[in-house]
Amino acid sequence: MTSEQLLFLAFGLLVVGAVITSLFHKDWRKTGYIATAFMGVASISLWILALRAFSQNIADIRPGLKLAVLGASLTFHIDKLSAIFLLVLPFVGLASMVYAIEYMGKVYAGQSPARYYPFALLLMGAIVGVVASSDLFFFIVFWELMTLTSWVLVWFDREDATKVRAAWVYFVMIHVATACMLAAGVVTYSLSGSWAFGDIAGALGRMGQTNPVLIHIVLALFLIGFTTKAGMFPFGGWLPEAHPAAPGPASAIFSGAMIKTGIYGVFRVFVEFLAPEYREVWGGIIAVLGTTSIFVGTLTALLQDDSKRVLSFHSIGQVGYMLLGIGTGIFFLNSSPVIAVVALIAGLFHVVNHACFKSLLFLNAAAAEYSTGTRDLNKVGGLGALMPLTMATAIIASLAIAGIPPLNGFASKWLIYQSSFQGGLTSPLFLLLVLAAFFSSIATLASFMKFLGAIFLGKLATAGKKVTGDVPASMQAPQIALAVACIVLGIIPLLPITLLYGAVRGSLGSMSVPGFANIFGANLSGISLHFGGVTAGVWNPAIATIGLLVCGLIAYAISKSGNAPSRETAPWYGGEEYTTDQVRYRAHGFVLPFKSAFVRIYPTVRLPRMNLQFLRKLFDFDGWLYNPLVKSGSRLTDRISRSHSGLPAMYMLWQLIGVVLVLVILFAWR
Amino acid sequence: MSTETASVIPALVVIVPTSAAVLIFILGKYAAGLREVLAVLGSAAALALSAAIVSATLRGEVLTSFNNQLYADSLSALLISLISGLGLIAMIYSLKYMRHQVQEGGLPHTTTSGRLTAFYGWIMLFIATMLWACLSNNIIMLYVAVEASTIASGLLVAFYWDKRSLEAGYKYLMLLTVGITFSLFGCVLVYASGANILGGSKGLLLSDLRTVAGSFPPTTVILASAFLIVGFGTKAGIAPFHPWLPDAHAEAPTPVSALLSGVMLKVALYALVRTVSLFYPTFAPVAMFALALGVFTLIIGDIMALAQDDLKRMLAYSSVSQIGYVLVGFGIGTQLGIYAGLFHLLNHALAKALLFLAAGAIIYSTGARKISELGGLAKKMPITSFCFFVGALAVSGIPPFNGFQSKLALFVAGAEAGDWYAVILGIAGSLVTMVVLLKAAKSVFWGQATPPASAPTVREAPLTVVVSMVILAILCLGIGIYPKAVYPPLKAASAVIQTIGSQGDSVARSQSSPKYRIARSR
Amino acid sequence: MEISPQLIHTLSLLMILTSFAAVEARNLRHSTVAYMAQALLICGLLLAYSVQNSALLYWAATALVTKAVLVPWFLWRSTAGAEQETKPAVSFGVSAVLLIALASAMYKLTHMHASLFVNAGGNLAQIAETNLAVAFTVFFLGLYAILTRRDAIKTVIGLCLLENGVHLSLVSLAPTIKETALAGIATEVVVTVYLLLYIIGGIREKFGSTDTSKLTELHW
Amino acid sequence: MFIAGALLNVILVILLAPLFEGIVRKLKAVIHSRKGPPITQPYIDILKLLGKEDLQMGGGALFRIAPMISLGAMLLAATLTPMWGKAPLGTSGDIIVWVYIMSLSAVAVMLGAFASGNPFCYTGASREMMMLLSAEPVAVVALLTAGVKAKSLLMGDVIGWQIAHGPSMSMAFAGIAFFLALQANIGKLPFDMVEADQEIADGPFMEFSGPRLALYKLSFYIRQLVFSFILVSIFVPWPGVSFAPLALVAGLLKVLVVFVVIGLIDSVNPRLRIDQSMTYMGRVLFVSLAALAFAVIGV
């Protein structure tokens, strides 16, 4: 089959699957199998497509859908960058579909599958469209489709008022972002007369000469549009609202696949289209914003007690890592291509890894909810004894997201640290960013220790009493698959890195990029980074893993050397044993000493209730015009005199402000 | 034009009061009456010496001591005569006043006589430091002297040692020292740039710096003038650096308030002009900025004065606004403007000192200081009320008092220079000042009194107090009626200010004046 | 004989730390000690400069007596009995972040726009750049202390830091200064500190504490 | 070749770590004017524990393997540690890797503690996490300072740079900070709140007995040794001896000094509360940041 047919086949399958699944109203399981089948075939065709794309770019596929008025024509262009996403995202989608078969059937028994599967499938289709299309107009169309379908999934559970409100938050925030994106697109269109990506790059370039202010505005709009979807702080406020509201598998898709499209957009615009002279400033902005997102998201996650809220805030944090990598890359594209390439690869690599472990974590959380019916970390506990496989996958995922070697999270974080560190040698700002990122990764570890300890380990809580056994095989399979992915990507990082190198090189286009071996070393078993010829960092997962195994064996040998007898006993409570829940150590207390330090650094999203009162107020001139004027006039003297509060420090502050003002004015005046 | 002649008089002007202070500290313990005598004599001697300097400068001489460390030109002469004159009057005023006040309270661990010793000693030091500041020709020493005057007056502000005065003293010392430190930095910058051109220690002498100030790098000029404005401006009570002022002026013993408001602010302003005017020809905007700052200050001062109920605080805030006027005068920068500024400086010194002394007299006899509590004193203390009215009308610029002359000159100068906004706001401000002061005067002297001010025992203040007030009142009236009396020294002084920046001789001035014409014509 | 930039840099950079310690130590006596250390550093700096300008030796001597002996002694005396500081308005973390931001900003400022302050050439200029950065940092730390510390004695320490900052900038801007005026600068600080502490003693006995946020009886 | 070196390191730490612990104990005893146990006591403890009965309270597989992971990770870290001039596995893992491997061992401790659902263990684990959270960044900043100096994160390069350029102010500060964090990282007083035996009865290790406890103790001792070695070989590598055995002896002597200092501090200080220690670490972090700043400035 030609790649063209493959692509259309995938779309067709997803759409047809949506139509068919929408016919079922009762049987979750059957619907699930059908949806999985469609998703599976679609994914396979997409994977073939992606693998072809790696051999050579799949040039413009034009279905002939045109909007002559707007000069927009539906065009697909699958280069290596899109191929990366086309490899990863359907994988996540498929996993969540398989997972949903049993899960949805049990948890949402009362509901109708016709309100879940069609939208899930369409969502996947939209995501594919977003990463595949090379025409901004249709890119935005797919984007909007993605938003709408995911929005339906968020308020899937209509009965719950809080979830409907979460959906409302999601809807508003995302559409504000989309509006920004659209505005930016319109500006570029008005300059280039076409929506095609290539022309947009040209338009941005020309804008640089003609109107340097406008280009910054346009870029800012693009950034807001993309990073809102990606869930970056401070635009990601919808994320902790929407993720917990959606059903488990859906949130896996959201965090594993959907928010990645935002990163994709950032990469496209700011790496491919951006003119060189703007790279430094915008790279810096993206990196700093990313780091802020890491810091705030992670530390806020530390304070959460709802398993899915924990994960959502960590999505905010992890997105920060990706943006830090990409931002650093953009920043150094001009000055030092090696650092830039490493950083860009690191960012994309983290996208891939995050897709694996975060969707896995959402599935784990869903599994716990599936068996106990609650998401409150303080209520569950000790499930590990009953669901060992789930716990194993959960541990792998947690260590991966915390960046513990030799798992995949470490590989990408390591690359990010290395590149930002090398960058920091020339511009120290990045050193601070590295430190913030590092600190946050320990905080991540802390919060996942809490996650594991609260859900799977420790004494069995009453909530877990009714749990019979581990989740069914159809829910195990995706978890295991994802866990394996985490391990494999961690142990042989060079495999994905080669692909990513191709992608980055492809999107850098004409720029001369150092050869692969000159950056990552010739030794294929491990990475040895070369910056300016000298080796500046090495990470050889193969040897490390073997070493770890060997050392573990040594430890095992030591422990067995005394061939000590062993005996089963009950835990010792320093006296009489109480019933479990009294002596359980709740998740809430785990980071208690830390909470005092960081309370509420994340602003909560508040949307105003719509009311028409203001119209009436508008015509009441006395109310808002005259009386205030009169009052303020009379009160002015008193106000000013009140400013002399008598506080010495206050007066000192005046002095300081005065100094600044005097300096500013005098300098402005000359 | 001006011939520099080494002379011992400037040195004496500083040394005499200092030694008087030292003697008071030493002998005060043994001979109770001696300290007053010493104080009066010391300030009188200082006055005489400054009169000598004035006459010398009017002859076009410039007296220097300690090989140019002290440098008395007509500007310095004006100020030192003002300082020593007001000092003498304050001393006469204190003779009875303080004797009565120290009964109520004062510095700890001392007897009443010990307190008197401390008072006279410190106040003589205060006067001495101010004289030194006005005579110093060494830019670092100028700073040191100004700071020293703060230190010397610090304990005087906190003299009564009760909650209010302690608070005032803390704010006074802390805020002023921090503010002044900025100006030290400014001086350092000026010195550093000067030393790079002149080399060695010559860069420290203002009289040398003026010859090279034109060739400083512009950024240094801006930085230095900014820091100097902030630093000395804090001490001069320019908004928004003024908050220490009402507290200190209101809580200090009345003679001290009179000196603080009458001359210390002026000394700070003098330091400001001395240093910043160095850059005036090269950096004309600094003048416009000073103008704007002055307008802002006078507005803030008036608004604040409106809201006061405490008599002395009200006077203090009105001092803020009057300082604003003086600054406006210097900011206008034309010959007439500077003249008007100096003239108003003089007038305000006299009038505001008069007002403070009158307020002190009222407090002395009634023990009350809130306007709302006072009332009906016109009959009980006629002379005081007369003096207060004179002062109030003079400050708010009503003919035939001196304030009118200076403000008129000020507005004319502003109009000539085209700074209309300053003129309009200035006139509005002086109206507000009049309202404030006359309202206060009305309710104090005619309104209804509440205890203790309404006690039948209230009567006119003792003789020395009255005498000192009357002298000032006569001066106000006299200058108002016959301003020519003070014209020559003011003229000379303003000429000095105008030529500080330029190289000091007529040629250089003719060079600099077109430049500054350009700067004026927007 | 040449002056060694390395030594001067080390000394002046240490000054940042000492001043930060002086600002942040909750125990007033500790911060007094930190201040003393800083005063000694200043003397060291003056000595380091004095190899090319012997006039600085006198200044160093004066600074030693006033800054390193008298002022700490006064502070020590006045903190007797009340060693613990009134809780400041701003916590440690904030100040640390602020200090880092401040220091780096000043460093950038003085190195990028050195011409603002230094119009001398030669190796002194390079030294002056870093020194000025330090001086400004110390200066602003002092201001910061006066602004955010509620304890009156702490504000006095802040004042001393302020002065130290200016003095450091003076010596690094004009290392060739030959003046007795400097002695005046150095001594007046002591007198100010003494008087302030004297008044603060009064405040302590009248108000019962040295908490400046209580000093609001005189307002509008 | 490097395999042999790695094994050498592993054996060295296993054999030497208890000795240093014994020395510290003796030192503390002397300061407390007690007779104290013989220096070989830790060996005896471990050997005895290896034979003792192994009580298991159904903690599952994780409970069983946690001690092995912990010790294994620690040994791996030892192979990344330059003990005799160079790190055997230095070519396959740099400073960041070392840090993370160290934290892997701590993670294993915590997981094991969680697996035994004992509240004491939970408390201990929570404190362990808090200490990691507050003490590890300090160590990392200090190490990054070295990295900034050497413009590389390889242990070898850093040490080489230090030897080549001699002591510098920033590295001095970094070393101080690292040392202050060291006490917390190896859980010595005043930072031994993780296994505060009088308070929460050995915290995370409470449920472990016999060989598993022996593994934990051993990995704990090795942790001390490895951290001290990093301290001495990165921050005070002088004089750089190329001849390996000599370098080893020199390193051991320096480590001995470090242990003596730690022992002194340990025996004269009370235990801090966890929040106090976090505040303290915050201040130390500031010192290390200052060091980093100086390194950037270049002094």
* DSSP calls for B86-133: HHHHHHHHHHHHHHHHHHH--SSS--HHHHHHHHHHHHHHHHHHHHHH
In this predicted structure, the answer to whether residue B514 has a pLDDT above a threshold of 60 is no
The pLDDT assigned to A623 comes to 66
**Which of B154, B162, B204 minimises the CB distance to C181?**
B204
Q: What is the C-alpha separation between D233 and D218, in angstroms, rounded?
A: 22
Residue among C173, C131, C161 nearest C38 (CA): C161
Residue D116 CA to its chain's centroid (Å): 24
- The tens digit of pLDDT for each residue in A43-73 reads 999 999 888 888 877 767 777 677 666 777 8
| DSSP code at position D84 | B
**Count of structural domains, chain A:** 2
Q: Do D297 and C96 touch (CB under 8 A)?
A: no
Residue A634 touches partner B, C-beta closer than 8 Å = no
Q: Both A536 and A642 in a single domain?
A: no
- Sheet bearing B70-72, strands edge to edge: B3-6, B61-65, B70-72
pTM: 0.70
Give residue A396's pLDDT band: very low, low, confident or very high (50, 70, 90). very high
Q: Both A535 and A618 in a single domain?
A: no
In this predicted structure, the answer to whether residue B125 has a pLDDT above a threshold of 80 is yes
The pLDDT assigned to B509 comes to 36
More confident residue, A24 or A332: A332
- Chain C partners within 8 Å of B208 (Cβ): none
Instruction: Compute the mean pLDDT over every residue in chain A, rounded to the nearest whole number.
Output: 84
ipTM: 0.75
**Which of D283, D287, D294 minimises the CB distance to C13?**
D294
Domain parsing of chain C, residue ranges: 5-214
Q: Both A638 and A534 in a single domain?
A: no
- The tens digit of pLDDT for each residue in C32-83 reads 999 999 889 888 888 888 777 777 788 888 888 888 888 999 988 888 877 7
| DSSP code at position C85 | P
Q: Which chains touch D (3+ CB pairs under 8 A)?
A: A, C
Domain range for residue D128? 2-297
**Which of C10, C17, C93 minimises the CB distance to D290?**
C17
- Chain C partners within 8 Å of D297 (Cβ): 13, 107, 130
- Within B277-310, residue ranges assigned H as helices are 285-306
The pLDDT assigned to D242 comes to 78
**Which of D286, D297, D299 minimises the CB distance to C96?**
D286
Domain end position, chosen among A489, A508, A543: A543
Give residue D58's pLDDT band: very low, low, confident or very high (50, 70, 90). low
Angle at which helices C152-173 and C5-24 cross, to 10°:
170
Chain A interface with C: residues with Cβ < 8 Å = 428, 597, 641-649, 652-653, 656
**Which of B178, B222, B303 minimises the CB distance to A652?**
B178
Q: What is the C-alpha separation between D174 and D288, in angstroms, rounded?
A: 5
Count the neighbouring beta carbons within 10 Å of the beta carbon of residue A614. Answer: 7
The pLDDT assigned to B350 comes to 92
Q: Which long-range contacts (CB under 8 A, 24 or more apart) does A580-585 make?
A: A580/A459, A580/A460, A580/A461, A580/A462, A581/A461, A581/A462, A583/A459, A583/D119, A584/A381, A584/A458, A584/A459, A584/A461, A584/D117, A584/D119, A585/A458, A585/D119, A585/D122, A585/D123, A585/D126
Chain C, nearest residue to B193 by Cα: C119
In this predicted structure, the answer to whether residue B505 has a pLDDT above a threshold of 70 is no
Length of chain B: 522
What percent of chain A shows pLDDT beyond 90? 21
The pLDDT assigned to C51 comes to 78
Q: Do C100 and D282 touch (CB under 8 A)?
A: no
For A533, counting Cβ atoms within 10 Å of its Cβ (0-12 exposed, 13-18 middle, 19+ buried), the class is exposed
**Which of B188, B203, B220 minimises the CB distance to C119?**
B220
- Chain D partners within 8 Å of C12 (Cβ): none
Q: Do A656 and C143 touch (CB under 8 A)?
A: yes
Most confident of the ranges A568-582, B191-205, B419-433: B419-433
User: Could you tell me how many CB contacts below 8 A there are between chain A and chain B?
Assistant: 68
Q: What is the C-alpha separation between B91 and A466, in angstroms, rounded?
A: 96
**Count of structural domains, chain D:** 1
Residue among A56, A55, A58 nearest A5 (CA): A58
Instruction: Compute the mean pLDDT over every residue in chain B, rounded to the nearest whole number.
Output: 85
More confident residue, D56 or A475: A475
The pLDDT assigned to A414 comes to 92
In this predicted structure, the answer to whether residue B479 has a pLDDT above a threshold of 80 is yes
Q: Do B167 and C166 touch (CB under 8 A)?
A: no
Element holding B164 (H helix, E strand): helix B163-198
For C86, counting Cβ atoms within 10 Å of its Cβ (0-12 exposed, 13-18 middle, 19+ buried), the class is buried
Domain end position, chosen among A517, A543, A569: A543
B292 and A668 in contact (C-beta within 8 Å)?
Answer: no
Of A9-18, A269-278, B194-203, least confident by mean pLDDT is B194-203
A420 and A434 in contact (C-beta within 8 Å)?
Answer: yes
Q: Both A515 and A657 in a single domain?
A: no
The pLDDT assigned to A39 comes to 92
The pLDDT assigned to B162 comes to 86
More confident residue, A260 or B500: A260
The phi, psi pair for B367, rounded to 5°, reads: 80, 0
Q: Do A644 and B304 touch (CB under 8 A)?
A: yes
Residue C213 touches partner B, C-beta closer than 8 Å = no
Q: Do A659 and B244 touch (CB under 8 A)?
A: no
Give residue B267's pLDDT band: very low, low, confident or very high (50, 70, 90). very high
**Which residues of chain C, if any, have pLDDT below 50?**
none
- Chain A partners within 8 Å of B244 (Cβ): 651
Chains B and D touch (3+ CB pairs under 8 A): no
User: Is B71 strand, coil or helix?
Assistant: strand
Q: Both A406 and A276 in a single domain?
A: yes
In this predicted structure, the answer to whether residue A604 has a pLDDT above a threshold of 60 is no
Residue D290 C-alpha, separation from nearest chain C C-alpha, in angstroms = 8
Of A103-107, A330-334, A430-434, least confident by mean pLDDT is A103-107
Domain range for residue A299? 158-376+389-543
Q: What is the mean pLDDT of residues A158-163?
A: 78
- The tens digit of pLDDT for each residue in B275-321 reads 888 887 777 788 888 899 999 999 888 888 887 888 888 999 999 99
Q: Is residue A332 part of a domain?
A: yes
Q: Both A332 and A218 in a single domain?
A: yes
The pLDDT assigned to B44 comes to 92
Instruction: Compute the mean pLDDT over every residue in chain D, rounded to the nearest whole number.
Output: 84
- Chain A partners within 8 Å of D126 (Cβ): 585, 589-592
Chain C, nearest residue to A428 by Cα: C104
